Amino acid sequence: MNRPDPQLRSMIPAFPEFALPARRVSAWVVETNPDRAQGWLAALPLADVNNTAQQLYRTLFTLNRMDVEVEDRLALMELIRNPVMVITGRLQSHFSPIALPLRPRIKQLADFVCQLQLEMAYGYKHVLETYRAEDQPWESEVFRFALERSIHCLGESLLRSYQVYMPAPAGVWREIHGLYRFAEQHDVHRMPIEPSDPDSATAQMSYLQVLMLGLCGPYQLLQNECHQVNAFLTQWADKVEILSDLEGVDPVGHFLLDYDADHPAVPFPIDVPMHNAPSLRAVNAIELARVTHQFIKRLQKGESPRQLKLGFECIGTACIETLRRMMRFWGLAGRRRFSRRRLRQPLSLCVGINAIHFFTSGQQPFTPPVARLAIIDLEAQAPDSGSLEAEAREASGNNLPAAVSSDMYRIDSRWQVRDESARGLSLVREGDVGMSMRIGDLLGIHHPVSNRWGIAVVRWIKSGDTRHVESGIEMLAPSAYSVAVRSTDPESSDYLQALMLPPIDALRQPSTLLLHASLFRAGQGIEIVEDGLPPRRVRILKIVERTGSFSQAVFADEAL
């Protein structure tokens, strides 16, 4: 076995530091004999998810605060591990779909699931703690086993936080770095935890999986996409390298890792000379990005996602978009290209194509063009109840139609701008629950002076509690026009709301359409109706972006 430099070794703490709960007497009684505990676990009613989750949590909570023989503790943790995985997988269904800020009960459940994983980590860290006084704890198979499991469980707590856009639990990243650093220091990070199975997990594989998840912009991923990224990394994280030599590293595709930090790796600073230091490493993600790019090309050529063994289930263009997001984060080590200006000012916004269409069309309810044409030949038409109610409100001084009272047509005025750049804004909201917001949502940003609506998209979001939300948005256009669109396919006749973005000459950006997500594709013919103008037939040339909320399409006119 190769031993690291003794001088470097002396500069690194001899044993990793981590948090453990204090010993205490619990009101709950648990089984500490592994054989009897196995029977109890087998009898758990897994169909009763909430009750079983509570029983597992109480068992872990109690075990982690009492003295248990190390062999028994490890055996108990391994027995409990699978039921916890099953239960957390089933509880995950409550988080799809969600929107921020989290409702109180969903926030309570999210905290519970995260804490359940932290209790799992406590159990394995207790095993590590028994080796603190040993001269060479890394020589023990039990120690190496518990070290890998600790990294994995701490990573699971991060995953459960990311899936609901909560901040990472304090200290977790520092512990993960410290555990792996210790294994690396003593050259056991690549050793399988099951000596008889060379394909079993290693501390390095578990660490790289967690590390690259943190480097994939978890607060910028679509809802539950972090689980797809995590599954992909289970298969492909071994393409990543951790380098101790920082001098001369190309910033593109590399990240700066600090083992002493309580956060994941970060993009390399530009034009700043880097010097080797005991706690610093370079993360080379170029090969992982290259593999991801190859998968995108194969999918574009028509290969099935199942044939590629990506590690996660996906369908068609959604699969390609997920891989593109991975490649963007890992391949370019994205940096902020525009300086930000600090400011504090109020901001009003609405969410979704339908809401923006409503406000940009003078707060008029959407009436499909076909419906307007269909009543021309009628001798008489009784006004519908919506029109009567709108008229009554207008007479009383309220110009908003009934639909405005719904979430779809609400304006949220409790947002504050924290800073801005040439491309977007950083926002924060405090107070009672407002409108729901998700990654990829389309926003209308109200300009009170001009009374115009700018168009933006949510790029990242974070929420630590039910009364606080932070978000980063990218501006797509300073204004938009409300239009109606429908496919020219013979079997399609329904008009839908859409938005026309004007061209931006300075960016050489043509006029584009914002359409409802997944309903339109490249090459498709569509008919556009603008207020007061005859129908216009165009063909979609390219979908430049598709999220769960909208598709942005470049188009060209066709002859009628």
> Per residue in 402-418, pLDDT tens?
333 344 578 888 899 98
| Contact criterion met (CB below 8 Å) for 541 and 555 | yes
Task: State how far the Cα of 292 lies from the Cα of 32, in Å rounded to an integer.
Answer: 46
pLDDT bucket at 54, cuts 50 / 70 / 90: very high
Give the best-scoring range by mean pLDDT among 73-77, 473-477, 549-553: 73-77
Q: List CB contacts of 476: < 8 A, sequence separation 6 or more.
A: 455, 456, 457, 501, 514, 552
Amino acid at 433: V
Q: Report the alpha-carbon distance of residue 356 to residue 481 in Å, rounded.
A: 9
Contacts of 547 (CB under 8 A, 6+ apart): 222, 439, 440, 441, 442, 457, 517
Give the pLDDT of residue 406.
Answer: 42
> Tell me, what DSSP letter sits at residue 505?
G
Work out the burial of residue 397: count CB atoms within 10 Å of its CB; fewer than 13 is exposed, 13-18 middle, 19 or more buried: exposed
DSSP letters, 77-125, are HHHHHHHHHHHHHHHGGGGSS--BSPPHHHHHHHHHHHHHHHHHHHHHH
Q: Which residues of 490-502 are buried (b: 16+ CB within 10 A; e: fewer)?
A: eeeeebbbbbbbe
For the chain, give the mean pLDDT. Answer: 85
pLDDT band at 436 (very low <50, low <70, confident <90, very high): confident
pLDDT at 156: 97
| pLDDT confidence bin for 76, thresholds 50/70/90 | very high
pTM for this prediction: 0.81
Asked whether 193 and 138 are in contact (CB, 8 A), the reply is: no
Is residue 251 over pLDDT 90? Answer: no
Q: Which amino acid is at 430?
A: E
